[in-house]
Amino acid sequence: MSSQDIPEENLPAEQDAHGAVGVADDKNPFADPGLPPHEHRVQDIDERAARRSERTVAMLFTVSMLATVGFIASYVGIPHDKSIFVFPIGHINALNFALGLTLGLALFAIGAGAVHWARTLMSDEEIADERHPIEASPEVREKVHADFKQGAKESALGRRKLIRNTMFGALALFPLSGVMLLRDLGPLPGTKLRHTMWRKGLQLVNMNTNEPLRPSDVAVGSLTFAKPEGLEEHDEEFQTEIAKAALMIIRIQPDNIKDKRELEWSHEGIVAYSKICTHVGCPISLYEQQTHHVLCPCHQSTFDLSDGARVIFGPAGHALPQLRIGVNDQGYLEALGDFDEPVGPAFWERG
C-alpha cells in the first residue's frame, strides 16, 4: 500500500523543513544538501498495518518469555547425564542442548522484537541537530558543586558515623551473595589437576587391543599407547581421565638412554611418558625411531625421549612427565605410582 492509496486526511502532517540547505561560500566550501524528503511507511498511514506490527512484536516478546520458562524447566527437570540424538549433529547432551536452544531463542526473540518495533512503529524521520559544546558552563558546574556539598551536609554522613560505617559494611558484604552463587557451578577441583588414575599396581593396557602389556609386546623402536587398567571407553569419566592418564610406551636400548632417572624408572629400556603435550595439552603421536624424538602435531614441540623427554624445539615449557613402571608377578607391565608432577600444560600451582 502506498501513500497514493490513502486519503489525504489520513496522511501525517508534513514537516516544514527537513534540514537547512546551505550554499557553498569561502567559509564553508561544501554546500549542505539538507535531508531527503521523508517517505512514510505503511504503518504510518495504515493503522491496521501498525496493529499487525504491534502484535508481531508482542508475539516475539511472548516467545522470549516462554523460552525463558523453558530454560528454567530444562535446568531443573533434565538429568545432566541424559543424551539425545539430533540430526545431523549426532548424540549430544540433552541438558546442554535444551539450555542452549531455549536461551538462544529467548535472546533472539527479544532482539528481533526490538528491531521490528524500531523499524515499523518508532519514528524513522531524520532530524538534524547542530553540534554544541559538551562541557557545561561555569555557572552550571558551580551550581552542581554547591548542590553536592549541600546534599552531603544535609545527609549528616560526616556526623552520623554509625550510619556511615554500617552502610559501608552493608555495601561491602552484599556482593558476597553473588560470589556464593558461584559454588553452584560445580565442586572445587581440589588436587585433581595434580593427580591421575595411575597408582602402584595398575597394569598398563594397550589402547588398541585393550589387553595388558607384557615387555615382549613392546619392540625396540616401536611406539605404543596405553591406558590404566579398569578405564573403559563407556565410562562416564573416560574422557576426563584419559586426558590426564594417556601414556606413550617406547622401548629404547638401555645404552642409548642418557638420563639416569629415566633409566631407573624404565624396565629393560621400556619407558612410559605422558602423551599430553606440555604446551597446550595436545595428544602427541609422531615418533622418530632413529633420534627417539616425539613431535606434537599442533605446534611442533619436540621432545627427546632418550634424555628425560626434555624439550629440544617448540613452545612447550617443560619436559613430559615420566611414569615409573615395572613388571608384576604375572609378567605384565604395571605402574609403580603416579606421575611425580602435573600432566599437561603448566598452571599456576606448578612449583
Asked whether the predicted pLDDT for residue 5 surpasses 90, the reply is: no
Residue 170 makes CB contacts below 8 A (sequence gap 6+) with none
The two most distant CA atoms of the chain are separated, in Å, by 103
Residue pair 297/279 in contact (Cβ under 8 Å)? The answer is no
DSSP category for residue 265: T
Cβ atoms 284, 273 nearer than 8 A:
no
Q: What single letter denotes the amino acid at residue 236? A: E
Which residue did the predictor score with more confidence, 229 or 285?
229
Q: How far apart are CA 312 and CA 44, in angstroms?
A: 72
- The Cβ-side half-sphere exposure at 185, using a 13 Å CA radius, reads 8
What mean pLDDT value characterizes the chain? 85
Other Cβ atoms closer than 10 A to 80? 9
Pick from 312, 310, 316: nearest CA to 298: 316
Query: Which cell numbers hold the place of 126?
Result: 531524520
Local confidence band at 164 (pLDDT 50, 70, 90 cut-offs)? confident
Which residues are CB-neighbours of 194 under 8 A, at least 6 positions away?
342, 349
Distance CA 94, CA 86 (A): 9
Which position has the higher pLDDT, 305 or 160? 305
Q: Any idea which of 21-35, 162-176, 317-331 has the lowest mean pLDDT? A: 21-35
Query: Cβ neighbours of residue 328 under 8 Å, at least 6 residues apart?
Result: 201, 203, 334
Q: What percent of the chain has pLDDT over 90?
A: 50
Q: Which residue has the cell 523543513?
A: 17
Task: Give yes or no for residue 15 having a pLDDT over 60.
Answer: no
DSSP letter for 194, please: T
Which tens digits make up the pLDDT trace of 69-103? Answer: 999 999 999 998 888 998 888 889 999 999 999 99
Q: Give the sheet arrangement for strand 270-274, strand by strand.
A: 204-206, 223-228, 247-251, 270-274, 322-323
* CA–CA separation, 82 and 92 (whole Å): 9
Q: What is the DSSP string of 125-192?
A: ----------SPPHHHHHHHHHHHHHHHHHHTTTT-HHHHHHHHHHHHHTHHHHHHHGGGG----TTT
| Interval 42-70 mean pLDDT | 92
Instruction: Indicate whether 17 pLDDT > 50.
Output: no
Range 326-342 average pLDDT: 93
Residue 113 has pLDDT above 50, yes or no: yes
Residue 241 pLDDT exceeds 60: yes
- Which residues are CB-contacts of 285 (< 8 A; sequence separation ≥ 6)? 275, 297
Q: For cell 549433529, what's the residue?
A: 89
**Residue 80: which residues within 8 A CB-CB, separation 6 or more?**
93, 95
Cα 263 to Cα 55, 142, 269, 272, 351, distances in angstroms = 77, 81, 7, 11, 24
Residue 16 confidence (pLDDT) above 50: no
The amino acid occupying position 253 is Q
- Is the per-residue pLDDT at 283 higher than 50? yes
Q: Is residue 337 very low, low, confident or very high in pLDDT (cuts 50, 70, 90)?
A: very high
Question: 285 pLDDT band (50/70/90 cuts)?
Answer: confident
For range 266-285, the mean pLDDT: 92
